[in-house]
Amino acid sequence: MSPASLAGKRVLVANRGEIALRVVRTCRALGCVSIAAHSDADADMPFVREADERVRLGPAPARESYLDIARVVEAARNLRADAVHPGYGFLSENADFAETVEAAGIAFVGPTAEQIRLLGNKVRAKEAAEKAGVPVNRGSPGRLADAAAAAVEADRIGYPVLLKAAAGGGGRGMRIVAAGEEMEAAFRASSAEALASFGRADLFLERLLRPARHVEVQVFGDGKGEVAALGERECSVQRRHQKVIEEAPSPAVDPGLRKRLSEAAIALAATVDYRGAGTVEFLLGPDGSFFFLEMNCRLQVEHPVTEAVLGVDLVAAQLRLALAGEMTAFPPGEPRGWAVECRLNAEDPARDFVPSTGRILALEVPHGGAVRFDGGFAPGTEVSPHYDSLLGKLVCWGATREEAVARSREALDRLVVLGPRTNARFLGAVLDHPEFRAGRISTTFLDETFAGWTGGNEDEDEAAGSDPSSLAAAVAFLLEGEGGNGAAAENPTPWATLPGWRTAGRAGA
């Protein structure tokens, strides 16, 4: 059966950056009309420029723009949107948002509000996983009333334990507690961070498994009980519980284990007639045992590696389901080849990875063939302090893991970002490490191996890769105003926009 036509369907993109640009471009390929909802800070970003239509949400702070449910839904209603795509982050796992969108007669590109309320809460999701027969880690039976209650549960389970926020994700509200005397301070810090990040301070705890891998299974449901599992991703390379490098498939998963992981993920999603794209995350032990971690009721940042090894388009599948009720016929069988994703962030490794902001003066990214770069910025655009530091995702495919890693390393060397500092050198160092090359990684790999890493001399120029032609392109941009929005033309001297650069070396702060 040929796919239903989506021509003329109107999709409001309720997000920003690289995921918003990805949705805009997929809309164009499907014949949909894309509507970019943006803050004042993002008015000139690529996702806004490339969209068919655009609408202002409000000022730069996310709570006054991207996180304002009333403003987003009003914009969708006024512009006659047929669907709202929330991307990831912001309101993507907000049940009230999903409910409000659909109450306005607009399709929400994601699961139902009821599914988000159940599976988006880690305590309730764990209970659902147990009922579905999915292995779960030992932990507290529900939310913890206070630090004293947490200490009682930790004594029962056994230290070390992991305090976790019941809502949200991304490692926020998470603390390792190694002994009883640490509990009160850790509980206070976790609950405060959870409240600030998700609007709820609810915590629970689990036994800390070490060593362990973080492996997740991509699922896609039709909302009527049919669920497809699209293989696993390896997400163990994390810094402070934030994923840094992901790959598909996992070097620790063979076909038999893949089948068991997939069956467990399907069992959980099928129990609630899950709709759309979602991810079931597991902790994988050295002996092949695995335990349910959480379920993300949205598209994941790392979804491109699954697309690369299966030859699918998950965003297109989301839109077809939301706009036409059509479930994509995903390919069965094992993944083809290997894919690695490196998250390029605007941050300074020499200063404990503090976010780095400012104008991007030059940007040169490798792409084409087996190399893909999903980015959201262009020369002349600003990395704002109001949002996260993700600049883009470098995704490289190879026939083998070794080839995919080597291609990723080569692509990083050809990458140029002039302006904010980035973690490009750090990514290269991780890819070069013998333990990573051998696939011997766990969730503590970065913390144990790269603690205190600064990349050498912090005064070295780290804005560009080693390719001389890339440096030449950056210089051409600065001196001639080439590339993007003409930043150099607006600032005739490069020293007006690069306070840390001089011909004789790097200037003082």
With respect to residue 116, please indicate whether it lies within any of the assigned structural domains: no
CA dist 190 and 174 (Å) reads 6
Contacts of 469 (CB under 8 A, 6+ apart): none
Residues 429 and 299 in one domain: yes
CATH number at residue 149: 3.30.1490.20
Name the percent of the chain lying above pLDDT 70.
Answer: 88
With respect to residue 385, please indicate whether it lies within any of the assigned structural domains: yes
Span 416-435, mean pLDDT?
97
CATH number at residue 62: 3.40.50.20
CA dist 307 and 305 (Å) reads 5
Residues 392 and 482 in one domain: no
Looking at 89, 109, 129, which one is the last position of a domain?
109
Please name the helix (run of DSSP H) or strand (run of DSSP E) that holds residue 487, with its range, or none.
Answer: helix 487-490
With respect to residue 434, please indicate whether it lies within any of the assigned structural domains: yes
Residues 219 and 331 in one domain: yes
Residues 439 and 476 in one domain: no
Give this prediction's pTM.
0.86
Residues 442 and 484 in one domain: no
Looking at 184, 207, 230, which one is the last position of a domain?
207
Q: In whole angstroms, what separates CA 218 from the centre of its chain? A: 14
Question: Does position 94 have pLDDT exceeding 80, yes or no?
Answer: yes
Flag the least confident range among 16-30, 153-167, 252-266, 459-473.
459-473
Residues 245 and 289 in one domain: yes
What domain range includes position 489?
468-506
- Tens of pLDDT, residue by residue over 326-367, are 999 999 889 999 999 999 999 999 899 999 999 999 999 998
CATH number at residue 266: 3.30.470.20
Q: What is the mean pLDDT of the chain?
A: 89
Span 154-167, mean pLDDT?
90
Contacts of 41 (CB under 8 A, 6+ apart): 59, 60, 382, 384, 386, 387
378 contacts 484 by C-beta, under 8 angstroms: yes
Residues 278 and 408 in one domain: yes
Residues 428 and 492 in one domain: no
With respect to residue 491, please indicate whether it lies within any of the assigned structural domains: yes
Count other Cβ atoms within 10 Å, centred on residue 210. Answer: 12
Count other Cβ atoms within 10 Å, centred on residue 503. Answer: 6
Count other Cβ atoms within 10 Å, centred on residue 69. Answer: 16
Looking at 181, 207, 233, which one is the last position of a domain?
207
* CA torsion angle 455 457 462 465 (round to 10): -70
pLDDT at 475: 54
Q: What is the tally of structural domains in the chain?
A: 4
- Tens of pLDDT, residue by residue over 187-233, are 999 999 888 777 788 898 988 888 899 999 999 999 999 999 999 99
Residues 349 and 475 in one domain: no
Count other Cβ atoms within 10 Å, centred on residue 344. Answer: 25
Report the alpha-carbon angle 69-75-76, nearest 5: 90
Residue 169: pLDDT band (50, 70, 90) is low
Residues 418 and 334 in one domain: yes
Q: Are strands 275-284 and 338-345 parallel, antiparallel or unpaired?
A: unpaired
Residues 281 and 405 in one domain: yes
Q: Are strands 382-383 and 362-364 parallel, antiparallel or unpaired?
A: unpaired
Residues 294 and 439 in one domain: yes
